[in-house]
Copies of this chain bind each other. A is one copy, B any other.
Amino acid sequence: MAKHKKQPRPKAVTPKGFRDYFGAEVTRRADMLARIARIYHRYGFDALETSGVETVEALGKFLPDVDRPNEGVFAWEEDGDWLALRYDMTAPLARVAAQYRNDLPSPYRRYAMGPVWRNEKPGPGRFRQFYQCDADTVGSASMAADAEICAMLSDVFEELGLGGDYIIRVNNRKVLNGVMEVAGIGGPEHEAERGIVLRAIDKLDRLGEDGVRALLGEGRKDDSGDFTKGAGLDDEQAGVVMGFMGALGADGAATLANLDRLVADSEVGREGVDELRQIADLLAAQGYGPDRIVIDPSVVRGLGYYTGPVYEAELTFEVTDEKGRPRQFGSVAGGGRYDDLVKRFTGQEVPATGVSIGVDRLLAALTMKGRFDDAEDGPVVVTVMDKSRLAAYQAMVSDLRKADIRAELYLGNPKNFGNQLKYCDKRGAPFAIIQGEDEAARGVVQIKDLKLGARLASELSHEEWRDQPAQFECRLEDMVSEIKARLG
């Protein structure tokens, strides 16, 4: 070794934009995903796990004539082929649906859960690897497929203990297309205007009604003074588009009647309203009322991307934003219908609809709502007073584990007993077991109740605390049952 030139030591850091997950961060997510998977499975959806790596060609979305794929994905050349990490679950589904089209059932219901990678500038809470949890139905044009996704999403929230705290809103791109026709920008010569309208309404949340109305008209100057050219609609035209987003009525029937009136003169518009009506009827037949799933034309997110029904799930409970103001928790899932999934590969149009759950946001919501068992998860720690009796201590640990109690033998250097107690503290151990020579001779152990000890120490004066030490002695053969009883 001494012959080698001295190398600088490598830095022990996660790459920029990536992070590590420890303990409960991992297991809570796994638990949540397992519960979601059970619902998906009950609905007939089959698991699909593709690998993290795809060919750039299959992923698509790259400029064909540049040497280096553009930003957004992690890609590299391998023996002349470009490979890349998947950036979502939909692109691999498209590849699978095309590759196995003769073997898969049709329609094909599938779910997928796992990490995806984005080569984007990381920001606070924005990482370059994160989880997605998708469910899609490929090969069905039926509105029952869309209604089913919404019902399933509702069941997921109920299963996760969020009943009463969520709402799923449904809208339809075809109704918007009808609205554009009625507003006089339906023809192929108005593609540019329609593009501006789509981008404008997608900003409703951010810009508010006035901002969107400005973009529908002449244009809008933002706070920095930059001017964004508008779609050039006159007030009447813009009013039709704004009427669409404001068409929510007192109940589903009223909303649908509003939309009926709005797009009466457009075939595609009427088709869209009819699709919404079918979805509403299918959901009503299953008992999903408007308190859980509602037809709501103000859902505009994704309208530019999807081709038919669009749905978005919001959590409605209140949180405090970074400025201390109360606001609703907001969106945790979204999806809709898209018909070009497999076409890139096969030339055939295959209808598909699906939803993606934002795993990290949903997990954050469950944590805020206290939906995780916060009972002590730390192990019972058997300390080492007498190194020569290691086998006896190990047997105690083994007995605890056999009773399904999380337990550890202290495996560090036992010389300094204070370090052993510090370790217990770091581990969140509810109990420490102590047995010295004297206790061993008498066939007993000392059980230190560390949670009680910490509470007493903070609540009582030193004198009182001394009189109520959170430590007691019990016979070795009673140790497991004593601990079990106290863990509850």
Q: Is the CB of B42 within 8 A of A401?
A: yes
Q: Is B44 touching A406 in the complex (CB atoms < 8 A)?
A: yes
A14-35 to B contact mask, C-beta < 8 Å, 1/0: 1110111111111100100010
Q: Considering the chains assembled together, what is the distance between the CA atoms of A107 and B390 in angstroms? A: 16
**Number of residues of chain A lying within 8 A (CB) of chain B:** 104
Which residues from B are CB-within-8-Å of A106? 412, 423
Which single residue of chain B is at the shortest CB-CB distance from A107?
Answer: B411
Copies in the complex: 2
Quick one: CB contact mask for A40-52 with B, threshold 8 Å, 1 for yes?
Answer: 0111101111111
The one of B53, B286, B408 that contacts A394, using a Cβ cutoff of 8 Å: B286
Partner of A44, one of B55, B278, B282, B408: B408
Given A9-B346, A15-B83, A144-B394 in contact, is the A401-B282 Cβ separation under 8 Å?
no
Contacts of A375 in B (CB 8 A): none
Q: Which residues in B have their C-beta under 8 angstroms from that of A57?
A: 10-11
Closest partner residue, chain B, to A31 (CB atom) = B34
State which of B22, B41, B100, B128 has its C-beta within 8 Å of the C-beta of A48: B22
Instruction: Tell which of A91-99, A252-260, A314-322 binds the partner.
Output: A91-99
A134-160: CB near B (< 8 Å → 1, else 0) gives: 000101111011011001000100000
A46 to B26 Cα, complex, angstroms: 9
A128 contact set on B, CB distance < 8 A: 51, 53
Take A12-B58, A46-B22 as given contacts and tell me if A52 and B144 are in contact as well, using a CB distance cutoff of 8 Å.
no
Whether A225 is near chain B, meaning CB under 8 Å from some CB there, is: no
Report the 6 A-B pairs with minimum CB-CB distance, sorted nearest first. A76-B76, A12-B98, A26-B47, A44-B408, A140-B411, A285-B391
Interface members, chain A 383-424 (any B CB < 8 Å): 390-392, 394-395, 398, 401, 404-409, 411-413, 423
Please name all residues of chain B whose beta carbon is closer than 8 Å to the beta carbon of A14 when the two chains form the complex.
50-51, 54, 95, 99
Give the Cβ gap from A483 to chain B, nearest Cβ, in Å: 14
Q: Is A109 an interface residue (CB 8 A)?
A: yes
Q: Are B30 and A395 interface neighbours, CB within 8 A? A: no
Q: Do the beta carbons of A282 and B390 come within 8 Å of each other?
A: yes
A105-139 vs B, CB cutoff 8 Å, 1 = contact: the mask equals 11101000001010100000000110000000101
Q: List 14 A-B contacts (CB under 8 A).
A: A12-B94, A15-B53, A15-B81, A21-B47, A22-B48, A52-B115, A53-B74, A53-B117, A105-B423, A107-B412, A139-B412, A144-B409, A147-B394, A148-B394
B115 touches A58 (CB 8 A): no
Q: A18 is contacted by which of B51, B115, B347, B391 (Cβ under 8 Å)?
A: B51
Known: A75-B76, A119-B78. A9 touches B105 (CB 8 A): no
Task: Give, as a whole number of angstroms, the nearest-CB distance from A419 to chain B.
Answer: 9
B117 pairs with A52, CB closer than 8 A: yes
CB nearest neighbor in B for A76: B76
Interface positions, chain A 273-313, Cβ under 8 Å from B, are 278, 281-282, 284-287
In angstroms, Cα B486 to Cα A293, docked, is: 34
Against B, the Cβ 8 Å flags (1 = close, 0 = not) of A434-476 are 0000000000000000000000000000000000000000000
Query: When the two chains form the complex, which single residue of B46, B58, B141 contacts A11, counting CB atoms closer than 8 Å?
Result: B58
